[in-house]
Amino acid sequence: MNLQELIHISKRKLSEAGIENSRFVMMSLFRGVLSLNEADLILDGEKEIESKLSAKYMKAVERVVEGEPIDYVLGFREFFGIRLEVTRSVLIPRNETEELVEIVIDEEKNSKVFADIGTGSGAIACALARNIPSSLVFATDISRDALMLAEKNARTNGIFNIRFIEGDNISGLNDFLDSVEVIVSNPPYVRTGDLDSLDINVRKYEPMVALDGGKDGLDFYREFLKYLPTGKKVYLEISQYEAEGLRELVSDLNGYSCEFKKDLSGNYRFMILRPEV
């Protein structure tokens, strides 16, 4: 089979399956699986593709057709300019979380010690550690598989100012909590009863431990706030449906002022706690 034929077949399969942006998906697979780009297509369309390679490409197309998120099929996702390996042990990092990182970098570039609780693929920790090179970042997760992948992602990207700790919520930071100045987290925040209404691809492929926030979506925050000492700066991603619930939860928190920020889609998505002066 030559390149043009391969393109033709895969485009048809993707659009027949009703995949949105089928051209974008096809080009991503082209780049990711075959290491080819648009120019190769134009200049070398008649070039024969090795059968092993075309089979690998068609297998990837099949996986997308079956509904698997393209980032899992490719095996990586770009986050804040960093290429992160992603497997089904970790949530695929979202664009809103890049906005969270932007806020933190903007406000905390002079801080030294950070924590990323529930690091998943290592997205937030890697982005902070790379962009604030004089910092030390403690990255925790309750999932050992996630933590191993996060560690690998940091190493592959040449990022060495992160320490990885397996642990539960804020208590997972143990003795290190004292030295931490800034805590960042994108915890699981989907209400258990809403998990069924998530996009089928999310529900079927992404880890529930990364998404399930308990009955009202606030389990993680409740536990976190219970043990939060005074004097930290805290940047949390939140559900667009939970700003009110969280406002209530922090109303009796001593020593902190609270600000909610919207994401680019206009939803309340971030909660910032600052020590009161």
Q: Which residues would be at the binding site for ligand SAM (CB under 6 A)?
A: 90-91, 93, 97, 117-121, 123-124, 140-143, 146, 168-169, 172, 186-188, 209-210, 220
**Residue 57 vs residues 32, 94, 110: alpha-carbon distances, Å:** 9, 25, 46
Span of 30-38, 147-155, 156-164, 181-189 interacting with ligand GLN by CB under 6 A: 181-189
CB of 71 to ligand SAM, least distance (A): 11
Piece in contact with ligand GLN (CB under 6 A), picked from 6-14, 39-47, 70-78, 180-188? 180-188
Q: CA nearest 171: which of 111, 90, 115? A: 115
Nearer to ligand GLN, 191 or 233 (CB): 191
Question: Cβ closer to ligand SAM: 5 or 145?
Answer: 145
* Of residues 33 and 272, the one with the C-beta less far from ligand SAM: 272
The least distance separating ligand GLN from the CB of residue 94, rounded to whole angstroms, comes to 5
| Identity of the amino acid at 151 | E
Instruction: Say which entry of ligand GLN, ligand SAM, none residue 190 contacts (CB below 5 to 8 A, set by partner kind).
Output: ligand GLN
Under the binding rule (CB under 6 A), the answer on residue 235 touching ligand GLN is no
The answer to the question of residue 57 lying near ligand GLN (CB under 6 A) is no
**In whole angstroms, how close is the CB of 236 to ligand SAM at the nearest point?**
11
**DSSP-based three-state secondary structure for 5:** helix
Q: d(Cα 162, Cα 197) in Å, to the nearest integer?
A: 36
Q: Tell me if 177 sits within 8 A of 97, measured CB to CB.
A: no
Q: Tell whether residue 90 is a contact of ligand GLN (CB under 6 A).
A: no
DSSP 8-state code for residue 275: E
Per CB under 6 A, 190 contacts ligand GLN = yes
Return the residue nearest ligand GLN (CB atom).
Answer: 189
CA distances from 193 to 54, 119, 197, 220, 244 (A): 42, 24, 8, 16, 18
Q: Which of residues 195-234 bind ligand GLN (CB under 6 A)?
A: 202, 211
Give the nearest distance from C-beta 42 to ligand SAM in angstroms. Answer: 36
Helix, strand or coil, per DSSP, at residue 176: helix
Tell me the C-alpha distance between 181 and 212, whole Å.
27
Q: Which does 69 bind (CB under 5 to 8 A by kind): ligand SAM, ligand GLN, none?
A: none
Please, which of residues 91-150 interact with ligand GLN by CB under 6 A? 94
225: tokens are 């706030």
Closest CA to 213 of 223, 227, 205: 223
d(CA 115, CA 113): 7
- Count, residues near ligand GLN per rule CB under 6 A: 9
> How many CB atoms within 10 Å of residue 19?
19
